[in-house]
A and B are shown apart, each in its own frame.
Chain A
Amino acid sequence: MNTIASDLLIWARGSGFHAALALFLVGILWRLVEIYTLNHPRRCLATPLKDGPSEGFKTVFRRFLPPPGMFMRAPVTYLGGWVFHAGFFIVLFFFAPHIEIFRALFGIRWPALSNPLIELFTVAALIAMLLVLVSRITDPVKRFLSTFMDYFGWVLTFLPLLTGWLAWHELLLPYTWSLALHVLTADLLLALLPFTRLLHGVTAFPSRWYTGVWFGRKGVQS
């Protein structure tokens, strides 16, 4: 049993990880080419009120926050969204063992957060993800809009967080098994990201920029 788990862990950390990384890189490149080599709108001839590109740049950041009056209309969407995105990225980039992976890949390292803090962010992200899932199922408009791909993207993101947390606490499964599953689900997330809704992590920034430029030219902060 343990041998299978160890073999799986070794594969997931080695060949599995490299295959996932390759698929991630090729996939992202493919999707970006597929999207951004389509036509671009002609340059707008109307005399602008403000500089479009700099307004576009501001919009890229402004859209992390809700516009006036919107937070109270969808508090779970906003709060849940912030907490799980922030939690996920903090754990990904500031958990000591993760930093080791980046060091092995890029040769650079940075200070890690203490384990209790990582624990806090992991649990917060897990709870927030459960909340946004419940909201997706119970909110009529979100339920109506949601497709298989929305739930699939959720599962892909949730599993590495959950298995990582289980491995840390050695809950439910023997440590080697949960760690193997953790690395395997992380590989899966990496490999499939370009082909799922999770691609928004890349495309949302140019999308915000386009809109920011168009509104900005008219003197409207967006």
Chain B
Amino acid sequence: MSATLERGLNAFRNFLNAPAASFFASCVHCGLCAEACLFYTESRDPRLAPIHKLEPMRRLWEREFTLLGRIQAMLGLKPEVTDDELEQWSELVFDTCTLCGRCSLVCPVGNDLVYLIRRMREGMAASGHAPADLLGATRRNLEKGSAMGVTLDTLMAQIRHQEEELGVEIPLDREGVDYMVLLSSMEIVQFPEYIGAVARIFKQAGVTWTISTQAFEATNGGIQIGVPDIARRIVMRTVEVAERLKVGTVICPECGHGFRALRWEGEDLIGRKYGFKVQHILEVLDELRAQGRLPLDNLRDDRPLTYHDPCQIVRRGGVIEQPRNLLKMVASDFREMADHGVMNWCCGGGGGVSTLERAEPWRVMAFKRKKEQIEHLGVHTLVTACANCRMVIEEDLDKYAMDIEVVGLTELVANHLRETTSKESQE
């Protein structure tokens, strides 16, 4: 057995805990997890059933953690997990799973499958079976501070551009402010209007805020690839800066797993509570709305539009009603998809799938689900709140030649602010 394989199997052994054993013992192979997974529903490939993605780890549990399994292993009835097998599973665990968690919500015996698939990824990463593309993104995340290799210079250029275009100030490295805003690389590079939108809204709402030049990236490659140590170091970078600047709240951007990493897992990763609060931008905007601090123009958007729930924000993050409150405020013809909220369907590119070049055919195929949902509603505008979803949806809409405009929710809200701020500030 190779040293790397042993490392991977040890990662499984170290993880296998009571909930995991309970989940494995409970599965009756009813196939419902497959019916909840867009990679299965769109391909009908039985290998993609979420529970099957865990087979090597399940067999290791049975072989080493159950009496009957140990006897069967001794009799040669339960083969060991091999390198070849894990290599085959790489496609199942990384390319055709976006960690969307829909299967976990559906399993009748209550198995949290995505919880297990994440641990499966950890073992795969430890045994050298993580895809090179993801490894590269994670390395850039750690070394350069950004998964896409975005440098501070790029950020500064985008900030200056937004300041000039909108006439608003974007405060940097301010101490003692209400909010510290994180960004995702994709927003900096492809959707910098998000930064401007936040600046306009916060100016209007009268809150103090800042962006840190030391820790501006919300993306956490360590979470996606399954390397807890890297995930911890990336979280720690944000924590150190936020605590030094004594900010009240750190705001996660329109980025799905970045939110989950910092809001739900970061404190466990670093082993202590933060000295600040973590909120998603939609939570903050909805609070400002509820406090009456988002004065809007009277021109509600009358285009028929729908909302795509980013999985990590809604199902795995708990931000469910806030986007709906905001949309109802700014749009007069908001239409829900048939499966929405916590039962939404993923765009097909989450969990690092969009980073994998080799996974593109899978991703485009899985998008058929979203395509059908959009077509069913007959809308031409889709609002979302995750830069990765937005990029994936835009690319795949293009592939299917669909004429749909994709808009970020923060930007949509900003576009409906009553524009009195610049005049007032000049006066």
Residues of A within 8 A of B (CB): 30-31, 34-42, 44-47, 49, 59-60, 63-64, 66-70, 73-74, 77, 81, 136, 139-147, 150, 153, 195, 197, 199-200, 203-212, 214-215, 218-222
Structural contact, A77 and B32, CB atoms closer than 8 A: yes
Known: A142-B31, A145-B49, A222-B105. A207 touches B318 (CB 8 A): no
Q: Which of A30, A35, A36, A211 contacts B111 (CB 8 A)?
A: A211
Known: A46-B268, A218-B264, A221-B342. A207 touches B23 (CB 8 A): yes
Q: Which of A70, A208, A209, A212 contacts B35 (CB 8 A)?
A: A70
Known: A207-B23, A211-B112, A221-B342. A37 touches B32 (CB 8 A): no
Structural contact, A204 and B109, CB atoms closer than 8 A: yes
Nearest first, the 9 A-B pairs at minimum CB distance are A208-B110, A144-B46, A219-B318, A45-B267, A218-B318, A204-B109, A207-B110, A145-B29, A211-B112
Residues in A neighbouring B67, C-beta threshold 8 A: 30, 34
Cα(A117)–Cα(B41), bound, Å: 39
Structural contact, B31 and A67, CB atoms closer than 8 A: no
Structural contact, A68 and B26, CB atoms closer than 8 A: no
Distance from A16 Cβ to chain B, minimum over Cβ atoms (Å)? 22
Structural contact, B21 and A35, CB atoms closer than 8 A: yes
Residue-wise interface mask of B (34-61) relative to A, using a CB-CB cutoff of 8 A (1 in contact, 0 not): 1110001100101101011000000000
Residue-wise interface mask of B (177-206) relative to A, using a CB-CB cutoff of 8 A (1 in contact, 0 not): 000000000000000000000000000000
A-B contact pairs, 24 of them (CB 8 A): A34-B65, A35-B25, A36-B21, A38-B21, A39-B18, A40-B19, A42-B268, A63-B110, A66-B108, A68-B339, A73-B36, A81-B30, A81-B108, A141-B46, A141-B49, A142-B30, A144-B47, A197-B27, A200-B28, A204-B26, A207-B109, A211-B111, A220-B314, A222-B105
Q: Which of B17, B22, B263 contacts A207 (CB 8 A)?
A: B22
Known: A142-B30, A204-B26. A40 touches B46 (CB 8 A): no
Residues of B within 8 A of A (CB): 16-23, 25-32, 34-36, 40-41, 44, 46-47, 49, 51-52, 65-68, 104-112, 115, 263-268, 271-273, 277, 314-318, 320, 338-339, 342-343
Known: A39-B17, A219-B318. A200 touches B265 (CB 8 A): no
Structural contact, B17 and A203, CB atoms closer than 8 A: no
Cα(A38)–Cα(B350), bound, Å: 31
Residues in A neighbouring B343, C-beta threshold 8 A: 67-69
Cα(A89)–Cα(B117), bound, Å: 34
Q: Which of B35, B105, B320 contacts A73 (CB 8 A)?
A: B35
Residues in B neighbouring A35, C-beta threshold 8 A: 18, 21-22, 25
Cα(A48)–Cα(B289), bound, Å: 22
Structural contact, B35 and A207, CB atoms closer than 8 A: no
Distance from B282 Cβ to chain A, minimum over Cβ atoms (Å)? 13
Known: A145-B31, A145-B51. A140 touches B316 (CB 8 A): no
Cα(A63)–Cα(B314), bound, Å: 19
Q: Which of B49, B52, B271, B342 contacts A220 (CB 8 A)?
A: B342
Structural contact, A37 and B18, CB atoms closer than 8 A: yes
Main secondary structure of the interface of B (DSSP, over half): helix
Residues in B neighbouring A59, C-beta threshold 8 A: 110
Structural contact, A34 and B111, CB atoms closer than 8 A: no
Distance from A79 Cβ to chain B, minimum over Cβ atoms (Å)? 13
Structural contact, A141 and B18, CB atoms closer than 8 A: no
Residues in B neighbouring A45, C-beta threshold 8 A: 267-268, 271-273
Cα(A68)–Cα(B51), bound, Å: 21
Cα(A36)–Cα(B320), bound, Å: 33
Q: Which of A70, A150, A206 contacts B32 (CB 8 A)?
A: A70
Distance from B211 Cβ to chain A, minimum over Cβ atoms (Å)? 24
**Residue of A30, A42, A47, A211 with highest tally of chain B CB at under 10 A:** A211
Distance from A36 Cβ to chain B, minimum over Cβ atoms (Å)? 5
Structural contact, A147 and B29, CB atoms closer than 8 A: yes
Residues in A neighbouring B109, C-beta threshold 8 A: 63, 200, 203-204, 207-208
**Other contacts beyond A35-B22, A143-B46, A145-B34: 11, CB < 8 A:** A34-B21, A40-B19, A46-B266, A49-B318, A140-B44, A141-B31, A204-B108, A207-B109, A211-B110, A218-B264, A219-B318
Structural contact, B110 and A46, CB atoms closer than 8 A: no
Q: Which residue of chain B has the shortest Cβ distance to A195 in the bound complex?
A: B68
Structural contact, B26 and A38, CB atoms closer than 8 A: no
Cα(A200)–Cα(B338), bound, Å: 32
Q: Which residue of chain A has the shortest Cβ distance to B260 in the bound complex?
A: A218
Structural contact, A200 and B32, CB atoms closer than 8 A: no
Residues in A neighbouring B318, C-beta threshold 8 A: 49, 218-220
Residues in B neighbouring A195, C-beta threshold 8 A: 68
Cα(A121)–Cα(B264), bound, Å: 46
Distance from B268 Cβ to chain A, minimum over Cβ atoms (Å)? 5
Distance from A205 Cβ to chain B, minimum over Cβ atoms (Å)? 8
Structural contact, B18 and A38, CB atoms closer than 8 A: yes
Residues in A neighbouring B25, C-beta threshold 8 A: 31, 35, 199-200, 203
Q: Which of B31, B111, B263, B277 contacts A77 (CB 8 A)?
A: B31
Residues in B neighbouring A209, C-beta threshold 8 A: 110
Cα(A39)–Cα(B65), bound, Å: 12
Q: Which of A31, A49, A77, A210 contacts B19 (CB 8 A)?
A: A210
Residues in B neighbouring A73, C-beta threshold 8 A: 35-36, 41
Distance from B325 Cβ to chain A, minimum over Cβ atoms (Å)? 15
Structural contact, A220 and B315, CB atoms closer than 8 A: yes
Cα(A219)–Cα(B34), bound, Å: 25
**Residue of B25, B105, B111 with highest tally of chain A CB at under 10 A:** B25
